[in-house]
Amino acid sequence: MRAARAIAAVELRRFLRDRSNIFFVFIFPLLLVLVIGSQFGGDGGNGRVAIAGADSELGTAIATALVDDGVSVTRGGADSVRQQVARGRTDVGLFISAAAATAYDAGAPVVLEIVPGAQQGSPATVQRVRVAVAGVTVERGQVAALVGAGLGEDAALAALADAEAATTPPELRVVDVDRLTQEFDGLGQFDLGASGELLLFVFLASLAGSSTLIQTRRLGVMARTLAAPVSAGQALAGQALGRFTIAIFQGAYIMVATSLLFGVSWGNLWLSLLVLATFSAVAAGAAMVIGSVLDNDGAASGIGIGLGLVLAALGGCMLPLELFPETLRTVAHITPHAWAYDAFAEIQRRDGTLVDILPQLGVLAAMAAVLLALGTWSLRRSMARAL
């Protein structure tokens, strides 16, 4: 086993020393996660509101009410706020005039200018702004009425606070019955893209790296290895372990980087690593088959990349499986990607346990066993073939 580990370590070093891998292994996956995450969600929680206008009690009261409601609030000048709305950097622009601030101080109705953005969530944010404005103006009117009745302002505020504390606010529960919404429930902004890109690049890096297996045979590395006190079985095991090590290195890098940079939640880490290891074994077996059946490293790289992209697209790494038609979704499960996708979905979205993902792990393990056996057998036969 020591010889197999040594061969695997050499394969990993060759993979890391290849400068062409720097972009596609370390940078490109993270860029795709960022782009996909930007398309699937925003970071504004319950929306983003930019408020323009001089400092006033009205502005402070509205901002406080919005923040309490989970809305992200920024302040700025009128021109700055209009630019933010136009460029999509905020969902709503709220303009507070001096007349409105004065009316609020007097307990009179206020008129504000609201400019919604073009984002999908802007109408909902506008509604939150209206609720916040209505709340603070009603409260101000109540204080003005109590003060007009002869009560001091502090006593009026205390009375309103006591009344609010003694009242149980109504509770509104929204139950979403949309199938797609339920499917994606529990996902963070970058979670879906991270798991999809992990599967894509683990398989792609493995298949593209099958060319090094051909180079190993062509350059006589395999023959020199067998000239050492290393058996054929150890050499074959080392090559298989090398492919597996490269695959799991790529996947672990994406998991760590996306967790640190984008806050991606992988659910139960050990279960996610188990899915990654099983999927990496499938990718290693596929790489061994390609690297031993073909004798041209250029053709192996081309076929590996093309096959990796097609399987990833069919397996839900580019478009979520939930958006597939039912028939195509069934067909997608001829790929290992779809089974691994389902396992990650179970772990990330529904806090799945080992029992929940056993079917997916079983299928992936069977695929890995078949491909590794076929790859080892074909590699043994290719060692006797002249290049």
Q: pLDDT tens for residues 344-381?
A: 999 988 888 999 999 999 999 999 999 989 988 888 88
pLDDT tens by residue, 7-48: 778 777 877 787 777 888 888 888 888 887 776 655 545 688
Q: Which amino acid is at 51?
A: I
* pLDDT bucket at 95, cuts 50 / 70 / 90: very high
Greatest distance between any 2 Cα atoms in the chain: 104
pLDDT tens by residue, 104-154: 888 788 888 998 887 766 887 888 888 888 888 888 888 888 888 887 888
Q: Which of 11-15, 181-185, 214-218 has the lowest mean pLDDT?
A: 181-185
Work out whether the CA dihedral 252, 257, 260, 266 comes out positive or negative: negative
Q: How far is Cα 182 from Cα 345, in angstroms, rounded to an integer?
A: 12
Q: How far is Cα 373 from Cα 370, in angstroms, rounded to an integer?
A: 5
pLDDT tens by residue, 266-276: 989 999 999 99
pLDDT of residue 186: 66
> In this model, does residue 159 exceed pLDDT 80?
yes
Q: How far is Cα 80 from Cα 65, in angstroms, rounded to an integer?
A: 22
What is the pTM for the complete model shown?
0.69
Phi and psi torsions of 115, nearest 5°: -115, 110
Q: How much of the chain is in helix, strand and coil states, percent to nearest 5?
A: 70, 5, 25
> In this model, does residue 387 exceed pLDDT 70?
no
72-76 and 48-52 as β-strands: parallel, antiparallel, unpaired? parallel
pLDDT of residue 334: 95
Q: Which residues contact 341 (CB under 8 A, 6 or more apart)?
A: 195, 196, 199, 315, 316, 317, 321
How many residues are there in the chain? Answer: 387
* pLDDT bucket at 156, cuts 50 / 70 / 90: confident
Compute the mean pLDDT over every residue in the chain, rounded to the nearest whole number: 84
